Amino acid sequence: MTGLVVLAGCGKPERSSGPRDFAPHAVQVVAASLQPMERSLVVVGSFAAREEAVIAAQVGGQIGQCRVDLGSVVTNGQELALIDTAAYEARRQQAAANLSRAQAAATNAQRDLERVRQLQQERIASTAALDQAEATATQTAADIQSAEAALAVAKLDLDRSHVKAPFPGTVAARLASAGDYVSVGTPIVHLVETDLLRLKLDVPERNAGQVGVGQAVRVRLESTPNVVTGTLARLAPAIRVSDRMLAVEADIPNPGHLRAGSFARAEIVVNPDGPALCVPESALVSFAGLDKVVLHQAGKAEERTVHIGRRAGGWVEIISGLEAGDPVVLNPAGLRTGQPLTLDAKAR
């Protein structure tokens, strides 16, 4: 019986269920504070050509030459195609000759009128002859005006037979070829201007009041990691009823690799330096999807779960979980709630 008592007494002692004792830990503390931090609005959209037009024939005839093709880069006023230019040149020459004939006839009529007037003053020519001479002079003067108008039309048609680019750009499609017969309005070339692109974006109604002309826009493409910057240039005057979106457009300079029609993700900088509650990045601990900080409260550590936002310049925005002035511990890895803390300016 005595042996049994001795064996029971030699067993392992039971663990204490009381709180664990932590050794004091020297820490560095900084107050959560308001820091200037950019606020941006993330939206999606697509690129469109700044200028886009289907260049059509303004005169009828057979295309003699088509001087561009898909991808051709053209300047303002560059010839794209020629439409039966020889025929229109001949019509211009004919109109010029008709004008010269009308001018000669008018000159003769004016001279005849002056002679008849002189004779009528000498009572040699009759009043009827004077009336006839004046009518002839008036008619020939009108013939000049008609011939001048016809010559202007012939020159315009000749100029229009040289199909030209109305703005600098790139040929997106050639819609007609040499030998095709075209009438007025027949499409010949699809031209787009891509040196400066329009980025068409949709802003949700709840954020519509935050955007304005002149704000900076950063663009990221799915196909490249490069970031392109531009400026918000145009806002629709009303919210779209169908989807409660505000249509906006940004002008984006094209460095060369952007394409009209491409999908893009953009950040509209609505406030470049708005105040935000922040803590240093070194005060944040992230584990299993949770973000925490450790506060110095009455000489002890207190873990606090926070929701974070933007990061910039070594600072992290705290959306919720802290207030301005809360003392947070730097480099808090390994600290637990209740652990005694001491302040040490040299602690790392």
Q: What is the pLDDT along the chain (348 residues), one digit of tens a residue?
A: 344 333 344 444 444 444 455 678 889 999 999 998 888 899 999 999 999 999 999 999 999 999 999 999 999 999 999 999 999 999 999 999 999 999 999 999 898 888 888 887 877 878 888 788 889 989 999 999 999 999 999 999 999 999 999 999 999 999 999 999 999 999 999 999 988 999 999 999 999 999 999 999 999 877 777 889 999 999 999 999 999 999 999 999 998 888 888 899 999 999 888 888 999 999 999 988 899 999 999 889 999 999 998 888 899 999 999 999 999 999 998 888 988 988 875 544
The reply to whether 17 falls in a domain is no
Q: What single letter denotes the amino acid at residue 4?
A: L
The reply to whether 320 falls in a domain is yes
pLDDT for the residue 144: 94
Q: 297 - beta bridge partners?
A: 300
**82 and 122 inside one domain:** yes
**159 and 62 inside one domain:** yes
pLDDT for the residue 230: 95
pLDDT for the residue 9: 42
**Domain enclosing residue 206, as ranges:** 41-51+194-273
**88 and 156 inside one domain:** yes
* pTM given for the model: 0.64
From 273, 299, 327, give the residue that closes a domain.
Answer: 273
**Number of domains into which the chain is organized:** 3
Q: What single letter denotes the amino acid at residue 92?
A: R
Dihedral of the alpha carbons of 131, 137, 142, 148, in degrees to the nearest 10? 180
CA distance 55 to 79: 11
**247 and 288 inside one domain:** no
Q: At how many degrees (to 10) do helices 127-160 and 85-121 cross?
A: 160
CA distance 59 to 71: 25
Q: At 267, which CATH number? A: 2.40.30.170
pLDDT for the residue 333: 87
CA distance 160 to 154: 10
As a three-state string, the secondary structure of 317-334 is EEEECCCCCCEEECCCCC
CA distance 191 to 58: 16
Answer for the pair 25, 341: CB distance below 8 angstroms, yes or no: yes
pLDDT for the residue 311: 86
pLDDT for the residue 274: 82
From 273, 295, 326, give the residue that closes a domain.
Answer: 273
**121 and 58 inside one domain:** yes
For residue 70, give the nearest of 182, 179, 189, 166 by alpha carbon.
Answer: 189
